[in-house]
Every structure is written in structure tokens, then in C-alpha cells.
Structure 1
């Protein structure tokens, strides 16, 4: 289906530009282009990488591609990432191309038989626009789809324009969490050596990719206005539009960098419930014992409780699961990767006969092998949790989540203060 996704988490404050106060919500790169098509420097035939989660700030019920076309932007071809143009396809499922029922434009899938544009799919284009939401997490695939587009456009000498959007988890470098991906574990869910919670916008990630990986690319970022790096999504004044089927709320996006690690285990992250990525469960889980351990760790910014859910998706589809739930109390303090690693270690320590690592087949990794290493970017975490999970203390987690050298690398591409 195409249609408008439900809107959640309405809130409003007065964000500021880096230099000048500005009332009202943040303006997105898409809004700026709608208001001034001259930012595209005379291109006459363009491709657009987007999905239904990309809306305008001026009207969050409005698809950005519709607004761009109505403003006269000469888009002639669409490209869709994982989850498809309607942002509703299941995680990891191949998505076909087709025709957009909203605009009538042809749609080329970039998550199916191919994960990067075929050179012929760019024939006749003067460049490509990328307008996608993101959740500030290395293993979320939209940013890597963008880098594949940059690569192929660079090979053909075509420019790429990124319509930037705020990082929902903020751009605060003090809140960044590793591990930084090790080169041996590069994959479609991690093409470059960046932290798991990286603190960049997609526009900044594009600039980093150009600087460190593809210096011949012609990358232009149409930046947001009115966003500060320290602002989380609720402070933008914009509602949170679900970016994919399981990231329905800002709280899920915030917890995702840590709870996504459970996709490599035999626990459910609540897919097919109302609040995926806000709880973890299994029929065999001793939720009270796990919660007790987590409370003793004094994890900042969250309240840990026990719960139960019945997921519609595997693992345990249709089965009642005991669960540990996380309620965000102060999002500025939450460190989701540290939380996820602590939860992995505590569950493994308490359930040595039941806890197991699992393969996670996707269109990008059909065998599903090595999924935890692809998520974390290292083999160390699996090795330790598999053998001595009770040894995982605060110091261990601090070492795993360190992002040494990242502030200096990121500093070269930042667009916002």
C-alpha cells in the first residue's frame, strides 16, 4: 500500500540555526529545494531515491516527492531502498521495482536483485537526488544505499544532491557509541569504518564517504535549517513518521542501536507488536532475573520493567514471550549500544542452555551467517559473550563502545553546530 503512514510523537520547541534564532519546526533539505529549485543548478532530468517516510516539514502529510514534482523539480525516475517505496516491506525482504501509484513514475529497486544502481538505470539522467529519513545507526541500510548511489554516479560523472534531515538520535558527538566497524566485517549493513551510533546526518555521512572513500564524487548537500547537533527528534518540532515497519516511534529509533543486536539471537525484538525494539523477549526468558541484573547496572535514561508480548513475526510468532521492556525516561542520557550489550551479556549468563546465536538471512546476506559481527563490526563481542558473559562489566562495555578518533574524522564533515 502507499498512503500516508501514521504520525506519532508530536512535540514542539523553538530550535535555532547555528547563528540565528528561528521559531517553529526545523526546515528540511526537501523544503528548501521546494522553495528554491535553483539549488539544483539547471539539471533537467533527475532520479530520486526516496520512500513514503520522506515528508516535508511544511506539511508532514505530504510526500516529499509529490512536493518536489509540484515545485517543478524535473524528476523522471524513482529509486527505492530496503522496505520499498512504501516503506512497509518486511526487514531484509527483496523488493521489486515497478511504477509509483502516486506519481506514475517508474521505480527502480535498490534492495532486490541489485543493491546498487545498474549503470543503465542512470541513462538519460543529469544527476540523482537522495531524500531519505535515517535513524543514526550504522546497520540501518538507507545510508549505505546512498553510498552505492554516490559510487555509481561518480563512475558516470553525475552529481548527487542529498536533501538533508536531522539525525533523530542527535548529532552530539559525546553521545556517539562504538564499536567502530573493523574492515574485515564490512557488509551491506556497514560499508565503512564508522561507529554503530555515529552522530551524523545522511548529508554528513555522504560528505564523509566522499572524503574518505570516493573523492571523485560530486556530492552536494542541501542542508537543514534550524537544527542544532544536540537536538533529538522530539526537539525538532516535527512528528516522527515511521521510517520502516519496526521503527514506528522515536523511542524505538533511540533504542534500536542496541536492541538490533538481538536480531542475531534466538530472542524476539517484538516485531509484529505495537512497540518493536522497545522490549526483548522469549518463552524461556526469566525476565525478573534479567531485569534485576539490569537495574543493578544503573543504566542511564531508561526504566527497566518486565512484561510479556506475543509477536506476529518469528522468532516465536504467535507464542507468548516473557520480556524485558525499556521505557525512555531521559533520552539525552540513554546509551542504547551499552544497554544492548549489557542485556546480551546478562541473558547469556542467566540462560546458558537456552540462549543462542542465530543466522539472519536477508536479501543482502542470503545465508544469514555472521550477522552479529556485521551488526557490531567486530568478532570480539560474540567471543566474550559466548564464553564468559558474566565477565561483561561496565569497563568492558565502555571499551567496546569506545569510538577513538571518530570526533576528529567527523569534525571534517560536520554541517551543523
Structure 2
């Protein structure tokens, strides 16, 4: 399998586009976590080969990929190439006209996890619009969706666009099944973004393939708290825990595989999850003391989640049920979190933005989303049919 970045390094792309890129002034939206197939940071071999980079753009976690979640990152210089780095996760979330002035194209090479609320894709959406305004071409160097691309496994709900944040701008399901290149094509087409878009496709990948198994041997965490492909598979559901007063395991060895809090009875919680019969999932009692965020420094009890059948697992439904069951076990203990929005975001709560539905906390804890059929999004397959690049 060759990634989009691999093909660019090999100069295995349209000759006319290659000539424009090698002879032009280039920007690049990327980070240190976007590796080539031979495990090099993508921008390094390009710079070594003489590509003329004028600026790098950094998403959440910065160009290094090391900043904490939600931490605003400032502008800097790339320690590898010396090229200026413009942060798109801080005071600004999209490039200004001056940032794009004189550029011929911006490359996009970012890892993704296949969940709507992963901020990298929305940073790309802002870049597409800014480049449209500036008359700058965008070239997406595509990568596989690590959760696979089976659209029958997509899970909603569809985002209510009143939510408006960097975890969701436009209507789409939580587990979407597209690559970042396909998402770019979808948005350019459906949002009428007048930008010159090119996608350098992955070769040798099929929609049925996930990063589980052999690819885990070279898994590079796409952000600090996604240490494995199995974690990424759970993430579209367990990330919902960020919207309530429990720990999802940041600062531990198993982030997004645990749900715990001082008020949880881990034995009862594990038993309730087992009794619910959630497909592809097993839960065992588990305790830890988080170092950051909710309940930092407090002993917490809860569960550790194991994926027993990745094809059967429905991560969003799993995440909904984890909160619904917890609310039933400990009435009144589960509470919704609040957070100061970033510039330009709505005033919806974090859980409402993540789930994409106004009043999400009350609905989920009341069991209104317990039926997995409520998360079905059959319309999504038809909506993206014209944007698919892989079979």
C-alpha cells in the first residue's frame, strides 16, 4: 500500500500537477504524526529533495503533535526545516489572506481517526475555504481511514449545524467511513467551495480494511491519547465521556478504553455492561488515579473496555450505552461538563457539540438513544456516493 505522501515523494502523480508543485511556492498542513510508509515525517524527505516550503500550518496539538488536547498553540519555526509554522489552533483556526499570499498550493497530510469530532478534518475544512478565497490550490495527500470505509458501519446522529465548533461544522455522522481526501471532495462539492482541489489517492487500500492487526505494528498515535488502533475504534463512542464528569483515562496507559470516577461502582458497572450484551465488547472492573482533567489526583473506579469483535462493535452506540447505564446505576451523580468555546464557536455544551444534538445529556441519560437503530444513517451512503475514491 502506498499513501498519498509516499506517491508524492516518488513523484508518482499527474505530471502537470507535479511540475506546478516542484516549481512553485508551497505551504503544508501537517504534523509530526503524519508518517510515510517507511516511518519518516512526511515533510522531511520533501524538504530534503528541494521542495520550496514557505510555511507550515499546524492543527490541534501543534506541528509536533505533542500539545495537550484543547491547548492553544502559538506560531513558531519548524525545528527540522526552519520554515515558519502558522498555528491553526489558537487565536485563529483558519489561515489569513497574508498567510496564503504568494503560495501556489497547500499540501494537506494529516492522520485521521474516522470520527466526526476529530479536529484535524475541520481544520482542513477552514483551509479549503481560505484557499478558495485566496485562489490557492489544495492538494490532499490521502490516507486510509483507520476504522475502515464500510458505509454500512457508519453511525450517527447527523450533526445539527447549529452546534458549530471545531469538532463539527457541517452535517455528517460521527463514524463517517470516509478518508480525508473523500471528505475534502464531499465538502467542495456540497458546500460549493470554489477551490482547485486535487487528491493524491492511496494505492492498494480497500474500504473493508482497518488498521487493526498487522498495521498496529507501525501504528503512530495521530494525537497524544490514541495509542493503538483498538483505541481508535472505541474513540467515536468513548470520546462522549469528555462531555460529562468522568475520566476517560487521559494520562493513563489506556485512554479512551476506560470510564471511571470516584462515584462509580466498577463491579456493578462492568456487570451492567455485560448484561446489556453490547456486540463486540467486553468490560472488566478497573481502577486508576488520573493525573489530569476530571478527578485528577482522585482514586477512581470504573471499567476497562476490550474489543472482542471489531466487525460487530458499534462504537457510537457503545458510548451512548456507557453513559445511559451509568446514569441508571448512579442516579444524580452523572453531570454535564461546561467549557469556554473557542473563537467563532456556538455556546452549546461539550456533549451537545460532540453528539451533535441539542439536549444530548438529558436524552442519553433518559435512554432515548439506547436503540442502535436511532443511530442508523442510511442516507449518508447516497449523500457521499459521488465523492468515493475506493471500493
Q: Which residue of 1 aligns with 2:18?
A: 40
Q: Indicate how the Cα distance of structure 1 residues 368 and 295 shifts in structure 2: closer, same or farther if over 3 A, else same.
A: farther
> Are positions 1:49 and 2:24 aligned together?
no
Distance in 2 between residues matched to 1:338 and 1:100, nearest whole Å: 41
Matched, 1:411 2:390: no
Q: 1:147 aligns with which of 104, 125, 139?
A: 125
Map of 2:251 onto structure 1: 272
**CA shift for structure 1 position 214:** 3.0
Shift of 1:93: 1.0
Could you tell me how far 1:315 is from its partner in structure 2? 0.6
| Residue of structure 1 aligned with 2:338, choices 343, 346, 359 | 359
| 2:6 paired residue among 31, 36, 41 | 31
In structure 2, what is the equivalent of residue 323 of structure 1?
A: 302
Structure 2 gap ranges (5+): none
> Aligned equivalents of 1:236 and 1:209: distance in 2?
32
**Alpha-carbon RMSD:** 1.8
Is it true that 1:402 corresponds to 2:376 in the alignment?
A: yes
Q: Is the 8 A contact 2:166 2:345 kept in 1?
A: no
Q: Which has the higher contact order (CA 8 A, sep 6+)?
A: 1
Give distance in 2, aligned partners of 1:53 and 1:278.
21
CA distance in 2, matches of 1:237, 1:292: 33
Aligned to 2:322: 343
Q: CA deviation at 1:70?
A: 2.2
Q: Is the partner of 1:412 in helix, strand or coil?
A: helix
Bigger mean CA offset, 78-87 vs 39-48: 39-48
- 1:183 CA displacement: 2.1
Q: Which residue number in structure 2 is paired with residue 332 of structure 1?
A: 311
Q: CA contact under 8 A between 1:359 and 1:368: conserved in structure 2?
A: no
Contact (CA 8 Å) 1:281, 1:308: kept in 2 or not?
yes
1:88 equivalenced with 2:66 (yes/no): yes
Q: How far does residue 290 in structure 1 lie from its aligned partner after superposition?
A: 1.8
In 2: Cα distance, 1:392 partner to 1:161 partner: 39
2:81 to 100, 103, 112: 103
Query: Contact conserved, 2:164 with 2:346, CA < 8 A, in 1?
Result: no
Aligned counterparts, 1:9-408, within 5 A? 26-36=1-11, 38=15, 39-43=17-21, 44-57=24-37, 59-60=38-39, 62-234=40-212, 237=215, 239-361=218-340, 363=342, 369-386=348-365, 388-389=366-367, 393=370, 395=371, 397-399=372-374, 401-408=375-382
The 1:182/1:211 distance shift into structure 2, 3 A limit, reads: same
Structure 2: how far apart are the matches of 1:260 and 1:364?
22
Deviation of 1:342 after TM superposition, in Å, equals 0.4
Q: Residue 304 of structure 2: SS of its match in structure 1?
A: strand
Runs of 4+, deviation exceeding 6 Å: 365-368
TM-score by length of structure 1 reads 0.89
Question: Is the 1:77–1:105 Cα contact (8 Å) retained in structure 2?
Answer: yes
| Cα distance between partner residues in 1 of 2:246 and 2:287 | 13
| 1:73-117 deviation per Cα after TM superposition (whole angstroms, max 9, x unaligned) | 322210000000111111111100110111111000000110000
Q: Which moved more, 1:373-382 or 1:188-197?
A: 373-382
